[in-house]
Chains A and B, each alone.
Chain A
Amino acid sequence: MNILVCITHVPDTTTKIKFVDGKELDKNGVQFVIGPYDDYALARAVELKESLGAKVTVLNVGKQETEPTIRKALAIGADEAIRIDAEPSDAIFVAHQIAHIAKQNSYDLILMGRESSDYNGGLVHGMVGEMLGWPSVSPCMKLDLEGTNAKMQKEIEGGKELLEATLPLVAGCQEPIAEWKIPNMRGIMSARTKPLNVVEAISVEGAISYNSFDLPPERSSCKFFEVDQVDDLVNALKEEAKVL
């Protein structure tokens, strides 16, 4: 079985986000990691490799700066990597790159996070599925294979659905599909020599453009009430905030 895992290279979840002149992310002091949802996808792929036997290829659309993140995915257990040498400017752009690679290979399963934690489009899995004519499911909380039959659990508002589809398919993953894996020393050593192929991007039309960024407005300072002043709080919610 061949599994493709698509990963993003994003700021660590604890990062305080700042921008340079409102135009681009201030990368100063920011630690970049594998996208937290992608990490679940990768962990599930490695679990499937361990239980059923599979070759796991990891793919990232990014410039050279993402290679330490890709090496980390190799250390976690992917067998080889592809880096598409371009900025991941938009979901349509990224989806076309992935579909292009998928058409040249014979993957049974394409896994990725439900969304990236930087641009949060949540689109790439569905787009790749559509481009390849494969089923796609997201957010996928559980994925079990029996031959070419996949049983999945999808989160919906207030509950979950149990779904079934036939491989090949695309899934956008989230917890608790697998436990995050931490690379061990052997993994880190072997990752250095695993193949990492750099591929040129194909050109794509229809991408959206990012003009500027801003931060949520700061809240004015918190107004405190004593424990026996709950009536005053309720009154403030009603008369001042007008939310009751």
Chain B
Amino acid sequence: MSVLVFIETNEGEIKSSSLEAVCYAKSINENVVAIMAGEASSKELDILGKYGVTKVFYNESEALANDSQGLAEFIFSGVEKEGADLIIIARSSLADSIAPKLAIKAKASIATNVVDLPSSQSPLTVKRGVFTGKAFATVSLPEGRKVLTLAKNAVGLKESPSSCSSEKLGFSEVASPKVKRLSVEKATGSILLPEADKVVSAGRGLKGPENWEMIEELANTLGAATACSKPVSDMEWRPHHEHVGQTGIKVSPSLYIAIGISGAIQHLAGVNSSKTIVVINKDAEAPFFKSADYGIVGDAFEVVPKLTEAIKRVV
């Protein structure tokens, strides 16, 4: 068996979710080959080697970055070159666009949003999130080439040092890509919500967008991403890409702190893969407390600054 892992970078750094994908691959097969768009310098080789990658295909062409069509073709050439049976990709907005194109190109079966290590190798059997976070399904993939896309935290990071070599892989540059990127608006430097290990989320209980400062301060103290409930994004208090829930982003951080969010079933669907949930709400009857590990019944404007100070004392 041969396993190929797609490595994604953000602002020049290999994403930790891609390293999780490496660890996932390592648990299935001793030999793990990776493929990335961008420069594979000694910095990248060191990190990939630390988690057990033995070889990385790369191409630093600018034309590849962020083009899902081009990347699907590039990864497929790596699949053919390596004779890979299994391709593992950590979920992201880019990966979600690459995966279906790659599956068709590679004539592979595919399971997306996988949340745990395989329960069987033959047939490959994995657990994936379904019903928008409300349930899990155990699925088997047929014989032949396979693609898996992984949810955040599907597996923990584990070092497994080996020496990693690099090999430049050519690709045929498409003269005019089918989809042209005209511009990008992206928050830089902030922690990206879908990949965040900690999330501080707030809802209508905050009363208005001007009150988010204390949420941001708590998030900064924790090194957390900020998020919000659907009503908050609908009212445009916060940008749409912060909306967590059934029709928004699904998160699976180790810590989710919900402030002034009642906990409607649609919101819970987006967060119930979180490891630990803390709920702060002045309404003791808020349904969210039933899905929480820790709770404080109290006014957010009083509790949040105190909590921020308390965290500053220990971290």
Given B138, B192, B254, which contacts A243 in the complex, CB threshold below 8 Å?
Answer: B254
> Do A130 and B104 form a contact, CB below 8 Å, given A161-B184, A165-B180, A225-B296?
yes
Give bound CA distance, A14 to B131, whole Å: 11
Inter-chain contacts of A91 with B (CB < 8 A): 100, 110, 112
A16 CB to closest chain B CB, in angstroms? 7
Give bound CA distance, A31 to B273, whole Å: 25
Are A227 and B101 in contact, with the CB atoms below 8 A?
A: no
Inter-chain contacts of A216 with B (CB < 8 A): 133-136, 272-273
Are B194 and A162 in contact, with the CB atoms below 8 A?
A: no
A56 CB to closest chain B CB, in angstroms? 23
Stretch with Cβ within 8 A of A (4 or more), from B25-33, B55-63, B287-295: B287-295
Are A157 and B192 in contact, with the CB atoms below 8 A?
A: yes
Q: Which chain A residues (145-190) contact chain B, with CB distance < 8 Å? A: 151, 154-166, 174-176
Are B144 and A206 in contact, with the CB atoms below 8 A?
A: yes
- Judge whether A20 is part of the interface by a CB distance below 8 angstroms: no
Interface bracket on A: 35 or more
Are A156 and B93 in contact, with the CB atoms below 8 A?
A: yes
> Do A17 and B240 form a contact, CB below 8 Å, given A122-B96, A130-B105, A208-B139?
no
Q: 1/0 contact trace for B176-199 toward A, CB 8 Å? A: 001111111111001011110010
Inter-chain contacts of A120 with B (CB < 8 A): 112-113, 129-132
Inter-chain contacts of B133 with A (CB < 8 A): 216
Inter-chain contacts of B112 with A (CB < 8 A): 91, 120-123
Give bound CA distance, A31 to B138, whole Å: 25
Are B292 and A219 in contact, with the CB atoms below 8 A?
A: yes
Give bound CA distance, A159 to B92, whole Å: 13
Given B111, B182, B296, which contacts A208 in the complex, CB threshold below 8 Å?
Answer: B111
Are B179 and A233 in contact, with the CB atoms below 8 A?
A: no
Given B110, B178, B186, B302, which contacts A158 in the complex, CB threshold below 8 Å?
Answer: B186
Closest A residue by C-beta to B194: A157
A104 CB to closest chain B CB, in angstroms? 19
Are B100 and A158 in contact, with the CB atoms below 8 A?
A: no
Stretch with Cβ within 8 A of A (4 or more), from B79-87, B165-173, B204-212, B307-315: B307-315
B7 CB to closest chain A CB, in angstroms? 16
B92 CB to closest chain A CB, in angstroms? 6
Give bound CA distance, A162 to B66, whole Å: 13
Q: Which chain A residues (115-153) contact chain B, with CB distance < 8 Å? A: 117-127, 129-131, 134-139, 141, 151
A1 CB to closest chain B CB, in angstroms? 19
Inter-chain contacts of A214 with B (CB < 8 A): 135-136, 138
Q: Which chain B residues (254-268) contact chain A, with CB distance < 8 Å? A: 254-255, 265-266
Inter-chain contacts of B178 with A (CB < 8 A): 134-135, 165-166
Are A244 and B315 in contact, with the CB atoms below 8 A?
A: yes
A-B contact pairs, 17 of them (CB 8 A): A16-B265, A19-B135, A95-B104, A120-B113, A156-B186, A158-B193, A158-B241, A216-B135, A216-B136, A220-B293, A225-B294, A225-B295, A230-B296, A230-B306, A230-B310, A233-B294, A243-B255
Nearest 9 CB-CB pairs, A to B?
Answer: A126-B100, A159-B186, A135-B178, A227-B298, A130-B104, A123-B100, A157-B192, A243-B255, A158-B187
